Amino acid sequence: MTSLFRGTSIVTGASTGIGFEFADELASRGMNLVVVARNTEKLEQVAQLLRSKHGVLVEVLTADLSDREQIDTVAQRASKDDIDLIINNAGFGLNESFFDNSVEAEQKLLDVLVTAVMRISHAALPGMRNRNRGGIINVSSVAGWMSSGTYSAAKSWVTTFSESMTMQLRDTDVHVMALCPGFTRTEFQDRAGMETETIPDWMWLDAGQLVRDALTDFAGRQPVSVPSIQYKALGLVAQYAPRPIVRLLSVMSRSR
């Protein structure tokens, strides 16, 4: 497994939360990094920390993935021969309903969660396939199996896209995996303005453990990684329960 995580990894949304945990864990395994986020100051702090802690090379690439030109700057870097792993992690949520959000906010959500994933993957995968090594982890969500607004719809696309790439690359040493976590203790909920007081403790995941489990699943060429027993069970319910029940549960979860 150690030899799998070599070369250089791009991690989007690397300044906090799950993205930072991926960067830290990959650096601890000896991978050089390209860290991507919107805030240059935070990225520089992360880069300095990881360099001093793990002795790896860390390149800072500031980009707002709701902007097409900046997405393509990251995609161009992803197309280079030194990139062996990409963590498409950047994302955010919207706390209002589709009818209450502006169309600009909804478009921004799609650009970050869907368009950026597609364009970065499209830039990187042909070279990986030609080199016959490398891969991509796309951070999706168990919400992708629910019907909970446009965030849920976008994550459904990410999971399905990742599974499709897995099948198209099945005869190669290149692998694509969707990571589908549930509630994870990061800054994500605060930035989305979510009320989290009613969410029981057993539903919260530790971001560091989530990342370690995801990398184990990636090394085992799992097409989809669902961390923790509780979310494996909830994921099965969401995938295989009758859709009217899933729709009802989705509405109930949004109204809490």
Measured CA distances, 152 to 99, 132, 156, 188 (Å): 15, 33, 6, 15
CATH of segment(s) 2-254? 3.40.50.720
pLDDT at residue 192, rounded to an integer? 45
pLDDT in tens, 151-200: 999 999 999 999 999 999 999 999 999 999 977 666 654 554 545 556 66
pLDDT at residue 70, rounded to an integer? 98
The one-letter amino acid at 2: T
pLDDT at residue 37, rounded to an integer? 98
Could you say which residues of the chain have pLDDT below 70? 1-3, 184-200, 202-204, 229, 231, 233, 235-256
pLDDT at residue 146, rounded to an integer? 76
User: What value does the CA radius of gyration of the chain take, rounded to a whole number of Å?
Assistant: 17
